[in-house]
Amino acid sequence: MADMTVIERNIERTDLPLVVIPACFPSMIEFFEQELPQFDGLARVRMYTDMSGDEQLLAQRMSGARVAMTTGVHFSTALLDSLADSTRCITFGGTGVANFVDLEQAKRLGVRICNVVHYGDNAVAEHAIAMMFDLAHHVGEGDRRTRNEGWPSIDIEEVGGQTLGLVGFGGIGRKVASLAHALDMNLLVYARHPDHETLQQLGARSAVDIDQVFAESNIVSMHLALNEQTTGIIGTRQLNLLRPGSLFINTARAELVDGDALLYRLQKGDIRAGLDVFAPEPLSKDDPLRALDNVVLTPHIAWRSKQALQGIVQQSVRAAVAFLQGTAYNVVC
């Protein structure tokens, strides 16, 4: 809290509605400051420059706000109810807004919810590929062991010519496919609604189901959105289809996968995984995944490139300005 500051714009214009940014990633502050002039003549703005998760404090900060611009803020039923008298629009800096706001409750209260889209396609795709390379080329392991052991003997694997199976083929999945195609990988893609033209351009095969992806791929990468239909969609059956030596990568959502089943499969020691997402987050200090040497762990950072953060801010501001002007942008409900 000692490092928290409050940045305000047009605050003397008490005739204008209030826009509040109740919590902000430090790396987003610069981008918000660049975009805040868009509110001139439309709204007062108050931005808090820390990432508090204290619900009572967040409620105080958003009190009286017509628009709340949020990233990483979870709205409990009580918090959303407490804001409903004044707050008419909430922008959420991500795609998985349903995991942070009860959309049905927001509809009942008449609160507009907006999200941001495709801001991190390239960042997440690159991170998935980076994890694939780390698992195959042992870059992190090689660094650690060279520092500690002097000159270890480590064999690596080439990814070219191997089969990469993608579960999901939205913006991120397509970008991963494009990068993998350039690496001369074979592509096997499961999508509920296959884009056959794009698949053909990439020389990719369309899988009949998810089981086929797990059974026939050397590397499987998850790129599904999380919803009621996809929660727990990967379980013991699919994970047991992975052949020894396979790689499993998840930069999407941890809840897509049965956590116990994944842990059991990894503890067998014959596959490796790259995981950027966990349930719950942050990963607890005693989580058994931390003890496994066949897993590469990163703290949900795949989306946090400079370009992606700037895209989040720009879309969030655009959605808030649109609401204040009586139009709509990226409205979820």
C-alpha closest to that of 27 among 305, 314, 320, 332: 305
Q: Which residue out of 13, 118, 300, 318 is catalytically annotated?
A: 300
Residues 269, 263 contacting (CB under 8 angstroms): no
- Residue 253 among the catalytic residues: yes
What b/e string do you get for 154-186 counting C-beta neighbours within 10 Å, with b at 16 or more?
eeeeebeebbbbbbbbbbbbbbbbebbbeeebb
Q: Is 308 within 8 Å of 71 (Cβ atoms)?
A: no
- The answer to whether residues 276 and 289 touch, using CB atoms and an 8 Å cutoff, is no
Catalytic residue flag (residue 145): no
Catalytic residue (choose from 104, 158, 281, 290): 281
Token pair 């808090």 in the structure block, residue: 48
| Residues whose CB is less than 8 angstroms from the CB of residue 200 and which lie 6 or more positions away in sequence, other chains included | none
- Cα of first residue to Cα of last residue in the chain, in angstroms, is 33
Catalytic status, residue 181: no
**Among 253, 255, 265, 272, which one carries the catalytic annotation?**
253
DSSP code of residue 112 = E
What residues are paired with 22 via a beta bridge?
none
Catalytically active residues, by annotation: 253, 281, 300
